[in-house]
A and B are shown apart, each in its own frame.
Chain A
Amino acid sequence: MDHFVDGNALAGSLRQVFRPDITTAEARCAGCGAVRPVADFRVYTAAPGAVARCAACGQVTLQLVQSPGALWLGMSGLSYLRFPPPGR
């Protein structure tokens, strides 16, 4: 049986992830495997978008591009974000 529901079922879980402050989350660099808080990223903003790099190896972890109609978050250099439980 091929049972699925639509993406709205993720709303409760994703609300815990995409909350106002993600800088306390820990990020794993897809390049070198270092796990550090997002706040430790080195962010370069003198560019067409913001580019975050791993402080350990320099690889790009996130790209943020703001256009008039959208905000893009590129995450190809990140293997995961790990969030502390709420209230911690």
Chain B
Amino acid sequence: MSALTPGFRGGRRTVSDRVPPGQYLTEGFPVLSAGPTPVVDTGEWSFTVVNEVGERVSWDWAAFSRLPHESPTVDIHCVTRWSKLDTTWRGVSVDTLLAEVATAADFAVVHSVDGYTANVPLQDLTDGQAWVVTGYEGAPLAAEHGGPARFLVPHLYFWKSAKWVSGITLHDEDQPGFWERAGYHDYGDPWLEQRYQSGW
């Protein structure tokens, strides 16, 4: 219960402090999917950011691979109640991608190749809070976990971390995504247990 978290220096944050309310820890990595796993060839893949006036910037796989990469180690929390600590990813910070785009938008929608979407306020994607990742625990990201590239925004429930990502669109107005249109919370803070739309 009060074992010190390995590698957490100078703090008294215990493992139980790192598990949000209503969650349990898992050592495995459950695969959740709302459809068949798409086959995405890196030769065909690209990532596109479109701002609120329709200007776009795209990276193909080679160009994306040349961007500066980071290796964040983060805890992840799925709305189906499992949490997983100290997961290590490799990818590009969303700050790096957004640096190429002029925007005054307040909202973003993350898009997947299979039509899945998730909405996130833009301020939750900047300042080192979100990545587009292509590696997991030292290996290329497996297709079942969203490879070749998925989103990673670990401070929100994991449905916001869309698999098989193809891009981000930026908007002046909030636009609910795939699960947010069907009862799930618009924001999804695991520490506040924002699972479902308010009051339900």
A contact residues vs B (CB 8 Å cutoff) = 44, 46-49, 51, 53, 58-60, 63-65, 67-70, 72, 74, 76
B contact residues vs A (CB 8 Å cutoff) = 30-36, 79-80, 115, 159, 178-179, 181-184, 195-196, 199-200
Whether A49 touches B33, Cβ cut-off 8 Å, given contacts A67-B195, A69-B199, is: no
| CB-based contact A46/B196 at 8 Å | no
Specify which chain A residues have a CB less than 8 angstroms from the CB of B30 in the assembled complex: 46
Output the nearest chain B residue to A66 by Cβ-Cβ distance: B183
Give the number of residue pairs across the A-B interface with Cβ within 8 Å. 60
Chain B residues touching A, majority SS: loop
| CB-based contact A74/B181 at 8 Å | yes
Docked Cα-Cα span, A53 to B33, in Å, equals 12
Specify which chain A residues have a CB less than 8 angstroms from the CB of B115 in the assembled complex: 59-60
Pick the residue among B34, B159, B183, B199 that contacts A44 (CB under 8 A).
B34
| CB-based contact B200/A47 at 8 Å | no
| CB-based contact B179/A65 at 8 Å | yes
Specify which chain A residues have a CB less than 8 angstroms from the CB of B31 in the assembled complex: 46
Pick the residue among B32, B35, B80, B196 that contacts A60 (CB under 8 A).
B35
Whether A51 touches B35, Cβ cut-off 8 Å, given contacts A67-B196, A67-B200, A70-B200, is: yes
Docked Cα-Cα span, A58 to B116, in Å, equals 12
Output the nearest chain A residue to B196 by Cβ-Cβ distance: A67
Whether A48 touches B33, Cβ cut-off 8 Å, given contacts A69-B196, A69-B200, is: no
Minimum Cβ distance to chain B for residue A70 (Å): 4
Docked Cα-Cα span, A72 to B33, in Å, equals 19
Whether A72 touches B183, Cβ cut-off 8 Å, given contacts A48-B159, A60-B115, A67-B200, is: yes
| CB-based contact A46/B33 at 8 Å | yes
Docked Cα-Cα span, A46 to B183, in Å, equals 17
Give the most central of B36, B179, B183, B195: most A CB within 10 Å: B183
